[in-house]
Amino acid sequence: MTAPPPDPDSGADDAPAEEARRARDPQRTRSEILDVATGEFSANGFAGARVDEIAAKTRTTKRMIYYYFGSKQGLYLAVLERAYATIRSLEQQVDVEHLDPVAAIRQLSELTFDHHESHPDFIRLVGIENIHEAKHLAESEVLPGLSQPAVSVIGRILDRGRAEDIFRDDVDALDVHMMISAFCVFRIANRYTFNTVFGRDLLDSRLRGHYRTMLGDMVVEYLTSR
Amino acid sequence: MTAPPPDPDSGADDAPAEEARRARDPQRTRSEILDVATGEFSANGFAGARVDEIAAKTRTTKRMIYYYFGSKQGLYLAVLERAYATIRSLEQQVDVEHLDPVAAIRQLSELTFDHHESHPDFIRLVGIENIHEAKHLAESEVLPGLSQPAVSVIGRILDRGRAEDIFRDDVDALDVHMMISAFCVFRIANRYTFNTVFGRDLLDSRLRGHYRTMLGDMVVEYLTSR
DNA sequence: AGTTGAATTAACTAGTTCGTACATTACTCT
DNA sequence: AGAGTAATGTACGAACTAGTTAATTCAACT
C-alpha cells in the first residue's frame, strides 16, 4: 500500500512569499514532474521512457513520482490528460459570429495549423497513444465532455454556410475537423520519415506560409464546391 | 564474434519437395521472423516489443534472430525496409497515360486510400519511426531511390493537367502526395484516439465510401480551383 | 563414409528497470 | 510548544530483458 495521493488541486492561492525557497511546494513538484514526463514520453514512447530518467531530470526523486502518480501508467495518463486539456481552448478562439463562413473556416484552419506547429509534444503523445490503441486514454475520467465545444464551433460555421447556400451539405462537423487535423498532424508527426524518404522538411520555415494557405484553400475549395 | 549472416536472397527456387518437413529452411525462417517482428513492433513500439516474445511466436528461437539480424535494432530496420519495399508498387498501378488528369488523380487518391487501409502495420511502423525521429531509417542503405517513382507519377499527372490549363500551378508533386497521404494516414493512425475522444470509428465500414469520395473530391476540387 | 560448415537449440549472464520499505524532514493546527 | 500529518530522501530488491556461450543437428559435397 502506498501513501494516499494528495489533493490534486488544493487551492490555487500559492503564497508568493519566499520565491527562493523551493522546499515543500507540492503544486510545483507535481507540475515539474509532469513537464519532464511529457518530454520523456513524447520523445521515447511509453515503454521507452524511463522513470529513473524522468526523476533525474526533475529536482525531485523517483519516490515523488510514485507518491503523486502511483505508477508509470498513472503518470503517463496524467500527462495525456493535461495535454488534452491544453488543446481544448483552441476552437473557442475562432471568431465565428463576426466572420462570414468562408473566413471563419479559414481562420479555424489556420489556428489549428499554428497550434499544432507549436505543440509537437501533444501530437507525438497522441501518436504514441494510438500505438497502444488508446487503452490508457480510455480509462481517463476527465476526458469525456472535453471535445464537444471543438466540434460544435465547426457545426455552427457549417450551418451558417449552408443557410447562405455556399457550403456543400454532404459532410458534417467531425468530417471537417478530421480533414483539417489530418493535414496539420501529418505535417508534424511524419516530418522525420517524410524528410528522410523524400528529402523535404515539411517544417522548413520558408514553406510555412505555403502550407498554411494550402490548407485553407483546400478546406475552403472543398466546402464551397458544387 | 557471431557467425556470418547467410545470403539474404539465395535463389527463389524453393524445392516443393516435402512440404511437411520444416527443418533447415533458412529462407522461410528469416521471413517468418520478419512477419512476427512486424506485428510485434507495430503493436508495441520499438522499446515495447520483446525479442523473447517475437521468438516465442516464431517456430524458431531467439538465437536465430541474432544469427540473422544481429540485434534488436537490426531486426527492426529489416522490418522497416521490407515494409517500405512493399509500398513502392502502389503508384505504378495508376493508369496515368490512359486517363485524363482529373480521373488519374482521383484514381491515385483512391488507390492510396485502399492501400493504406489494407496495410495498417506499415502506417504504425512509420509512426513509431517518427517518434524516434527516423534515426533507424536514416541508416538504411536500401531506402534511397525507392521513392522517386511515387513522386514522378504525380508529377506527370500535374504536368498534363497544367497543359490543359485545368490544374492550379502553385503546388508540386510532393505537396499533392503529402495532401493525399495526410488524409489516408490520419484515418488509420489516429483511429483509436479519434474514436475515444469523438466517438466515431473512422474505419467503420459504413463510412468507407463516404471518406473515399471525400478524399477524391478534396484533392480534385483543390487542384481544379482558380 | 567422412568432413565441413551452415542452421538450430537450450541454458546462461550481466545489466536494467519498475516499484517499495523505511527513515527523515518540514509544515500546520491546536 | 508539541503532536500529527504531508512531503521527501535513501537504499534496495525482485523481475525482466537484450545479448552470448557453447553444444548439437543437419545437408551437401568429396
Q: Write out chain A residues lying below 8 Å of B45, CB-based.
A: 45-48, 128, 131
With a 7 Å cutoff on the CB, does A62 touch strand D? Answer: yes
| pLDDT tens readout for residues B159-212 | 999 999 999 999 999 999 999 999 999 999 999 999 999 999 999 999 999 999
Q: What is the model's pLDDT at position B87?
A: 84
Q: How far is CA B15 from CA A86, A186, B12, B29, B187, in A?
A: 60, 45, 9, 15, 42
Three cell numbers, residue A10: 488544493
The architecture in CATH of the region A26-84 reads: Orthogonal Bundle (1.10)
B27 touches strand D (CB under 7 A): no
Q: Which residue intervals of chain A bear CATH 1.10.357.10?
A: 88-224
Residue nearest the C1' of D8 (CA based): A64
Q: For residue B24, give the nucleotide whose C1' atom is nearest its CA.
A: C7
Nearest protein residue to nucleotide C11, judged by CA and C1' positions: B63
Amino acid at A159: D
Is A108:A173 a contact under the CB 8 Å cutoff?
no
From the list B111, B92, B200, B204, the residue with the least C-alpha distance to B150 is B92
User: Nearest-CA distance from B130 to chain A in Å?
Assistant: 6
Residue pair B117/B188 in contact (Cβ under 8 Å)? The answer is yes
Percent of chain A with pLDDT over 90: 73
Nearest chain A CA: its distance from B127 CA (Å): 7
Answer yes or no: are the C-beta atoms of B45 and A45 closer than 8 Å. Answer: yes
d(CA A25, CA B30): 55
Give ranges for CATH 1.10.10.60 in chain A: 26-84
Lowest-confidence segment of A6-10, A129-133, A196-200, B15-19 by average pLDDT? B15-19
Distance (Å, rounded) from C-alpha A202 to C-alpha A83? 23
Q: Which three cell numbers stand for residue B125?
A: 511502423
pLDDT confidence tier of residue B22, bands split at 50, 70 and 90: very low
CATH architecture observed for domain B26-82? Orthogonal Bundle (1.10)
**Range with the lowest mean pLDDT among A144-158, A160-174, B163-177?**
A144-158
Please, which residues 66-105 of chain A have a Cβ atom closer than 8 Å to chain B? Answer: 84
Instruction: Mutation target for A interface from B129, B136, B139, B221: give the one with most A CBs within 10 A.
Output: B221
C-alpha distances in angstroms, B106 versus A224, B14, B163?
19, 40, 18
Percent of chain B with pLDDT over 90: 74
Q: What is the DSSP letter of B5?
A: P
In this structure, what DSSP letter does residue A50 have?
Answer: -
Question: Quick one: what percent of chain B has pLDDT higher than 70?
Answer: 89
More confident residue, A28 or A214: A214
Q: Which of A112, A123, A114, A119 is nearest to A219 (CA)?
A: A112
Q: Distances in Å between the alpha carbon of B58 and those of A127, B76, B148?
A: 28, 16, 35
CB A44, CB A79: distance < 8 Å: no
Residues of A (166-185) whose Cβ lies below 8 Å from B: 171, 174-175, 177-179, 181-183, 185
Between CA A85 and CA A94, with CA A89 as vertex, the angle to 5 degrees is 160
DSSP symbols for A113-159: HHHHHH-HHHHHHHHHHHHTTTTTGGG-SS-TTSSHHHHHHHHHHHH
**Residue pLDDT, tens place only, B108-125:** 999 999 999 999 999 999
Q: What is the mean pLDDT of residues B20-44?
A: 83
The ranges of chain B annotated as CATH 1.10.10.60 are 26-82
Yes or no, beta carbons of B137 and A193 under 8 Å apart: yes
Q: How far apart, in whole angstroms, are the C-alpha atoms of residue A123 and residue A155? A: 24
Instruction: Please tell me which of the candidates B43, B179, B197 has its beta carbon nearest to residue A218.
Output: B179
**Which CATH number is B88-224's, of 3.40.50.300, 3.40.50.150, 3.30.420.40, 1.10.357.10?**
1.10.357.10
Q: Is A134 on the interface with B (CB under 8 A)?
A: yes
Interface contact B187, partner A, CB < 8 A:
yes
Q: Is-contact A189 A119, C-beta < 8 A?
A: no
